[in-house]
Structure 1
C-alpha cells in the first residue's frame, strides 16, 4: 500500500480544515487549557505528517523505482557517473524528516532564547527603576497608567505600575496579580514559543496563523480562570478594563491587551464549563491526533 496519497490528504486536512473547525467550535472558551493542548496536538500531528510524507516519497516503491531519488535521476539531477547509488533513497528518506525535525527544534530554541534575552534586558531595567513590594510580591514601577504584566522564566517578575496600585481596589489588584501568577506557574511562554516556532517554519499555513492567535488568547483565558478561583468576575473585569490601554513589553504577559473585549464577555457572562464527557473526549483526541500520521503510514495488519 502506498501511504503517500493518504498522508498528503491527512496533512492537508490538519493544516487547512482542522483550524476552521476548531475556530467554529464553542467549547474552547469553556475549556481553554484543553483547547491549547488540542492546538499543540495539531501542530505536532502536522509536523509528523509532513515528515512521514517526505520519508515515503523518498523511499523506493513498487511503482516508482526510487522515489524522489529516481525522479531526480530522471530529470538529470542525479549523480554524474550514471550509476545510481542503491542506498541514496534510504539516506534521503532519513535526511528529509531529520532536517525538518532539526529545523523545528532550531526555530523553537531561537524563539525561546530571543524572548529570554528581551525579558532579561527588561528585567534589569525594572530592577533598576522599580521598587520591590513584599506585600504584593511584585515590582512597582513609576507609570501614570494602570498596568500589570509578568516576565516569566527562570527569574520571573510580576510588574505593576504605581497608578494601578493607587487606582485599583484591593480585590481588583489581587485579581490582576493572580492572573499574572497563572502565566508564570503555567509556563505559558513555552507554549507560545512553540506556536511561534511552528509559524516561522510553516509560514502562511492557516494552522500556523490561527494557532498563534488562538493560543495567545486561550492562555490569557487560562490565567483569567486562575484569578477567578479566588476573586470575583466583576473585580477581574473592571481591572482588565482599566488596564486595556496599557502597553506590554516584548516577551511579557499582561492582564490587559487587545483581547480584553473577548475576555470581558467571557468573564462577565455565564460561567459555563465543558461537560465532563466532552472534556474526556477532547482530551483523548489531543493524545490520539499526533499518532494518526503514524497509523496512516504504518497501518496495523499490513506487514
Structure 2
C-alpha cells in the first residue's frame, strides 16, 4: 500500500511544483477576487510541501508497515521490518528529514530576519519622523513621493513630505487607506511562506512565480479594501492617480526591507484594474475555488492517514 501512496504523492508534488502554479499564475480570474486567489496560493504551497515530504517519507518507511502511522511507529520502536530495507529507503528518509528541516528552518529564519529588519528600520525611522496629519501616520522629510507601512506589533505608517506635497487631500486619503488595509489584514503573513519557499528552493521556477503573484495580489487586495473607506465621485481614479504619482518619479526613496509600499506589485496592472475594474467573481466560481483549495490541502493528508484506517 505504501509504494502506491508514495507514487501518488510524488505525482501530486510534481503537479504542484510546476503546472498548477503556472496555470494559476497565467489565469485572469485572480484579479477579480484577490483574496480567494491568495487562499489558493497558500493551499498550493502547503499541499506541495506536504506532498513531497510525504512521498519521500512514505517510500522510506515502506519496509516497516502497510500504512504511514504503523510504519512510523514500528521504525521508532525498532521493530523488525516486514521486507528488505534497500539503500533507496534510507536515502529517501534522509531527504525527507533534510527537506522538512530546511523548509521549516528557512521559514523560521525568514520570520526572524524579517522581524529583526522591521524592528531596526522602525527604530531608525522613529528618530527622524514627525507625527503626520492622520492620527496613525508619520511624516518623513523627503522630497520624493513615497508611502509605506512597516507591519508588526507596533506598526508604522510613513508618508514622505514629497508625497504630502504632490497629492491632494483625496489622493492622500487613498494612499493612507491602502496602507491601513495592509496592516489591518496582516498581508505580510501571506507573503512570508513564499519568501521562505523561494529562499529554500531557488532553483524551482514556481517558487519565484508564486512569490511574485502573491505580492501582486496583496497589493490588489489592499486596493480593494482601501477603496471601501474612500468617499468622492470616483475613488478608483483617485487611488490610481496617487499610485501613478508615487511610481512615476525617478530616483525615489528606497522602501525599507520588510515594508509594504503603495507602489508595490505590478503598478501598471493595478492602475488598469482600478480604472477598468473587472467584474466580480461569481459566487459559484468563488465557492468552487475555495472548495478546491480546501480539497487540495486535504488530499495529501488523506493519502498519508487513510490507509491506516
The alignment status of 1:253 with 2:260, answered yes or no, reads yes
Q: 2:61 aligns with which of 39, 59, 63?
A: 59
Shift in alpha-carbon separation, 1:118–1:273, aligned structure 2, 3 A: same
TM-score (norm 1): 0.86
Q: Which residue of structure 2 aligns with residue 179 of structure 1?
A: 178
CA shift for structure 1 position 258: 5.6
Q: Work out the CA distance in 1 between the residues paired with 2:91 and 2:43.
A: 27
Q: Which residue of structure 2 aligns with residue 85 of structure 1?
A: none
Contact 2:215/2:265, CA 8 A, preserved across alignment: no
How far does the alpha carbon of each residue in 1:22-51 deviate from its partner, in whole angstroms, 9 at most, with x for none? 122221011111111111100111111111
Higher mean C-alpha displacement, 169-178 vs 97-106: 97-106
Any gaps of 5 or more consecutive residues in structure 2?
66-81
The alignment status of 1:234 with 2:204, answered yes or no, reads no
Q: Which residue of structure 1 aligns with residue 78 of structure 2?
A: none
CA shift for structure 1 position 98: 5.1
Q: Work out the CA distance in 2 between the residues paired with 1:286 and 1:258.
A: 24
Q: Work out the CA distance in 1 between the residues paired with 2:187 and 2:264.
A: 16
| Aligned 1:38-53 pairs, distance under 5 A | 38-53=40-55
- Pairwise CA RMSD: 2.4
Q: Work out the CA distance in 2 between the residues paired with 1:99 and 1:212.
A: 23
CA shift for structure 1 position 229: 1.0
Q: Which residue of structure 1 aligns with residue 136 of structure 2?
A: 137
Q: Which residue of structure 1 aligns with residue 74 of structure 2?
A: none
How far does the alpha carbon of each residue in 1:212-251 deviate from its partner, in whole angstroms, 9 at most, with x for none? 1101110111111111112300110000001014332211
Structure with the larger helix share: 2
SS in 2 for 1:160: strand
Contact 2:56/2:93, CA 8 A, preserved across alignment: no
How far does the alpha carbon of each residue in 1:113-146 deviate from its partner, in whole angstroms, 9 at most, with x for none? 1112211221122111110125352110110011
Contact 2:147/2:261, CA 8 A, preserved across alignment: yes
SS in 1 for 2:29: coil
Q: Which residue of structure 2 aligns with residue 152 of structure 1?
A: 151
Q: Work out the CA distance in 1 between the residues paired with 2:287 and 2:198.
A: 29
Contact 2:103/2:197, CA 8 A, preserved across alignment: yes
SS in 1 for 2:240: helix
Q: Work out the CA distance in 2 between the residues paired with 1:298 and 1:190.
A: 29
Any gaps of 5 or more consecutive residues in structure 1?
73-88
| Aligned 1:103-252 pairs, distance under 5 A | 103-133=102-132, 135-231=134-230, 232-244=235-247, 245=249, 246=252, 247-252=254-259
Q: Work out the CA distance in 2 between the residues paired with 1:200 and 1:133.
A: 36
Higher mean C-alpha displacement, 205-214 vs 97-106: 97-106
How far does the alpha carbon of each residue in 1:182-204 deviate from its partner, in whole angstroms, 9 at most, with x for none? 11111111221111111222222
TM-score (norm 2): 0.84
Higher mean C-alpha displacement, 144-153 vs 128-137: 128-137
Contact 1:248/1:257, CA 8 A, preserved across alignment: no
Q: Work out the CA distance in 2 between the residues paired with 1:71 and 1:98.
A: 16
Q: Work out the CA distance in 2 between the residues paired with 1:133 and 1:220.
A: 23
